[in-house]
Every structure is written in structure tokens, then in C-alpha cells.
Chain A
Amino acid sequence: MYVRHLQVSDFRSWEHADLELTPGATVLIGQNGQGKTNLVEAIGYVATLSSHRVATDAPLVRIGAERAIVRTAVVHEGRELTVELEITPGKANRARVNRGAVARPRDVLGILRTVLFAPEDLALVRGDPGERRRFLDDLLVLRAPRFAGVRSDYERVLRQRNALLKTAGAARRAGSKGDIGTLEVWNGHLAKHGAQLLAARLDLVTALAPLVRAAYAGVAPESRPVDIAYRSSVDGLPADRPSDVDSVEAALLASLTEVRDAELERGVSLVGPHRDELELTLGESPAKGYASHGECWSFALSLRLGSYELLRADGGEPVLVLDDVFAELDRRRRSRLAEVAAAAEQVLVTAAVAEDVPEELTATRYTVSDGEVSRAE
């Protein structure tokens, strides 16, 4: 698939921008602060309904404007779909597909699929486990949009359960019963939604691991081999059939019963997919803390390239977006990355200076400066 047209209004620094795109490689060149990343961020937003840079929508709207609008035309197997998003912070966003309103913005997920690699991705390796969980969940949603619902249901139940644990724990310390009688109810619901998420993540990591290993070996052949593994807070997961939802649900429910006292003591849910970790290892050691800066970069890149290969294998080749990454890589890694990127149906690259980008990718160039995007010859 590829993005044929991108139009934004009041998005980030852009009052208005209009960009015709083609399959193959496109490079956006501009000095820092000219808004290159904002344009690819808009494309990423259409694919995931979230930004790779900020957690809330407010910074996405140009200062002084009430709402931002992102319009894209996506071509997939010869068919073109237009997706229009209206981002209004503090209110529900609105979405339109082919000019017709859809019931929920979530319904546009799956129309455009992107894999975006950006400097922020260093946090995948160095950051908190939450970064890696989000990485897995975002990828799940890209593969099967239904998981957007599973994820939000789970988070809702989790928030309710944590609130209950806090008040019931306090009531217990004060010697009264509180609402502890409803805890079992929330346990059941947490296990039901959590098992779906957990089983899907286990499946995903099994499929992703060999692709990440291969991508890393390609990007950094001189380095030690890497691996990824899912470590769950839930004990007793079925080893033979890890993705069987019913067995996972039973295991999660059993774990919840076990930690009941500790949970009431601390007032938070201690087991479930929200406490799990995607472990990254380099040779024999954990990547976090042991890997060099260059190795962290290559690892983060391999996670993205692995995702890209996985989505490609599912059919419907995703759009590859490389935001400001070439400057950080040495020459060999640059050319390895360029090799993969040049084979993509569409790749969008941003860079401050054209010299950083390998030649294979510079056929179509745009210059971004002073609020204008123009085609460079």
C-alpha cells in the first residue's frame, strides 16, 4: 500500500500543507524545526490514532487553532480510500472514510498500515517496560484492529479494579469489610480481557522473534546475536499451547487469587499483561544497561524492521517511515537500512541534510522550509 496524498490543516506547526506522494522512496529535507517530522507524524497518526512523540492530542493542534485535520488518500491493491481525521483535544475525534462519517474513529484502523522508525524508538531498548508493552500492543492492533477494543476494555477493567483495591484495602486496614465482595467479579472480567491480550502477545512474540534476530544480524553483523522473549507476571501459563485463551484465562485467574493479600496491601493489580515485560537480550546480557549506544540503535531498528517483515508477511505491505534516523547510523548500517527500505513499496524519509541519506533513496526529494513543502529537482 502507499499514501498517494497527504493534506494537513492546523496540525502541529502547519497551518496548511498539501503533498502528493508516489510509491518508492520520498525524502523530506529541511533544517531542524521546519516541520518534516510533523508531516510523517500525521501519517503515523492516521495508521495508529496516536502519535509516536506525545501521549496526548493537545500538542498536535497548531497553537491558536481549535482542531487539526489530517486527510490522506491511501492506495491498496489498486483501490483508493480517503481517510479524514479531525483531532479536537478534549473532545472525541471524528473520522471519515471516503467522505462518509464512521461511527468511531477506531473503525479507520487497518486502512493505512505504517511502520515508523524514529529517534524516540531508542526508548524501546532503554526505556521502561511500558514502552515495550506499547510496542507489542500497537503491533497487535496493526495486525488485527479488533485488539484496539480488547486493549481499551482491559485498561478500563484494570482502572476499576485498582480503584476497588485501594478502597477495599483501606477499609480492611480500618477493620471493615468494604466492597471486597465485588473483587471476584472484577477478577473474572480482568482475566477474561487480560487472557485475550496476553495470548495474542505471546503469539506475536513467537512470530516476531526470528524476524528481529535476522534483522539485527543484517544491520549489525559484527555484533553479538540478539533475542527477544516475553516474560509474564502470570505463573503457570500453559507451556505447550501458550496462546490458548481459555488456559491463559485460568492461569491468570489462579495468579490473581494467589496475590490477593499483597494486592489489597498495595492497592494495585500485581499480575496481568500490564505488568509483563518484553525482554531484550544481547549475547548473554539484557540489552538495557549493557548495550552500547550503537547497539541500542541497531536493536531498536531491528524491532521495527522485524515488525515491518511481519506485517509484510501478513499481506498488505505497510508504508515504511524513517524519521531522522540516518544521521545516527554509521555508513554500513545506513547502507543496510537503505537496502531494506529501497525494496519497500513506499518509504518516507526525513533528514536535515541530504548527504546523510543513501543515494538509493533520494530519487524524489522535497524541501521543507518556512511553512512550505516544495519538490526539489
Chain B
Amino acid sequence: MYEGPVQDLIEELGRLPGVGPKSAQRIAFHLLGSDPADVARLQDALQRVKDGVVFCDVCGNVSEQERCRICRDARRDPASVCVVEEPKDVLAIERTREFKGRYHVLGGALDPLSGIGPDQLRIRELLTRIGEQEVTEVIIATDPNTEGEATATYLVRMLRDFPGLTVTRLASGLPMGGDLEFADELTLGRAFSGRRTV
């Protein structure tokens, strides 16, 4: 145990995801030894993230203005909407540079254990959006785990009544650069059932 402010800082840092007690201690002492200007910049960044960040009115992604950069971008196809759980998933898909449509961030997945149902997610907003705008394809890109799969199934049920709307789910299967022999049975089984004609 350290005394006073240093221990407080270690405890606060230790609450962050992915930071254990040792890392928290290391970061705390790094901050203690660093230039006041650096600390001020960090302080400032923390302050701004709580004050300045808003969520995009349309897609729910983190944004600086009422509408996020992607929703403002006229080159992005508004007819194609990719549904993801979190803002970080938008970033992951953006890095591929494959997708030219727009996004819809749900803000999580169905998770009754944590008290998250459809009303806690931005599902109603999605339905309104599809009803009002010219959306022709919805790509469901929730995580391939228990909660993500349940969310996908739920979305499919809600979306099947829209006429002329194509609903797709991201393929799951073998990772690129991987070896077939090292794939686990579940992944390989999925890849098999989702095989395509070439």
C-alpha cells in the first residue's frame, strides 16, 4: 500500500478494463514522474471525452457533431446498413475498407443476465430508420457468441416483414492465413455448412 494520492490513482487505474494491479502501479508512477504538461493534456482529453462526445443521431456511433462523419459522408451508400454492437466494431469494419454503406450501432447485445433487452438497445431506432429511408440491405454483424447470435436471430425476426429488404449475416468460418488442421470443430463445422460454389 502506498500513501494518499498515489494509492488513490493506482486504485482508479486498476478499475479500467485490461489494467491489472501491476500495470496500474506502473502507469501511476509513470504519471508521477512525467512532465506536468503531459499530465495536463491527459486530464484535458479525459475531460473532453465526457463533455464533448455525443452519439450520432442517425447511427448511434460516437461523434463530435449531431451526425457522425460516416453519416455525413455523401459518398457512403445509405441503402446498405451494417448493424454492429459497439462503436469499436465500426472501426474494425472500417479498417477493411470493404464496406461502402453506413452503420447502425446497437450499443450492446441481448443479455438478460445484465438486464439488457431490446428496449435497452437501439433496435427501435433501426426499425424507424429502415421504415423512413431507402434501405435495401441490412448486414447483421453482431459478435458470433451466445449473446450476439441471439441478437442476430431477434433482428432477423423483426426485419423479415419489411418488403424488398435483404437481410444478411456476416459469414463465419476459417481465418485467413490459418491452417485447416488447427481450426476448432465449431468453426470448421460452420465453415462447412456455409461453403460456397466457386
| Given A160-B113, A167-B112, A179:B119 Cβ within 8 A | yes
Question: Are B150 and A186 in contact, CB atoms less than 8 angstroms apart?
Answer: yes
Classify chain B: how many residues form its interface, as a range. Answer: 10 to 19
Q: Once the chains are docked, how many angstroms separate the CA of A171 from the CA of B124?
A: 20
Q: Mark A153-181, 1 if CB is under 8 A from B, else 0.
A: 10011011101100100000000001101
Does A128 count as interface, using CB distance less than 8 angstroms? no
| Given A179-B119, A189-B150, A159:B184 Cβ within 8 A | no
Number of A-B contacts (CB under 8 A): 52
Q: Which chain A residues numbered 314 to 342 have a C-beta less than 8 Å away from chain B?
A: none
| Shortest distance between the CB of B149 and any CB in chain A (Å) | 7
| Shortest distance between the CB of A347 and any CB in chain B (Å) | 31
Does A188 count as interface, using CB distance less than 8 angstroms? yes
| Given A146-B186, A160-B150, A179-B119, A185:B110 Cβ within 8 A | yes
Question: Are B113 and A182 in contact, CB atoms less than 8 angstroms apart?
Answer: no
Interface of A is mostly: helix
User: Which residues from chain B contact A179 at a C-beta distance below 8 Å?
Assistant: 112, 117-119
Q: Once the chains are docked, how many angstroms separate the CA of A249 from the CA of B111?
A: 23
Does A294 count as interface, using CB distance less than 8 angstroms? no
- Nearest chain-B residue to A181 (Cβ)? B118
User: Which residues from chain A contact B150 at a C-beta distance below 8 Å?
Assistant: 157, 160, 182, 185-186, 189
Question: Are A163 and B117 in contact, CB atoms less than 8 angstroms apart?
Answer: no
Classify chain A: how many residues form its interface, as a range. Answer: 20 to 34
Does B146 count as interface, using CB distance less than 8 angstroms? yes
User: Which residues from chain A contact B149 at a C-beta distance below 8 Å?
Assistant: 189
| Shortest distance between the CB of B106 and any CB in chain A (Å) | 13
Q: Which chain B residues numbered 101 to 146 have a C-beta less than 8 Å away from chain A?
A: 110-113, 115, 117-119, 146
Contact partner of A149 among B113, B147, B154, B185, CB < 8 A? B185
Q: Which chain A residues numbered 184 to 233 have a C-beta less than 8 Å away from chain B?
A: 184-186, 188-189
Q: Once the chains are docked, how many angstroms separate the CA of A151 from the CA of B150?
A: 17
| Given A160-B112, A164-B112, A184-B157, A153:B146 Cβ within 8 A | yes
For the complex with contacts A153-B146, A163-B113, A185-B154, 11 further pairs of A-B residues with Cβ separation under 8 Å are A146-B185, A149-B185, A149-B186, A156-B146, A160-B112, A160-B146, A178-B117, A181-B118, A182-B110, A188-B153, A189-B150
Residues of B within 8 A of A (CB): 110-113, 115, 117-119, 146-147, 149-150, 153-154, 157, 184-186
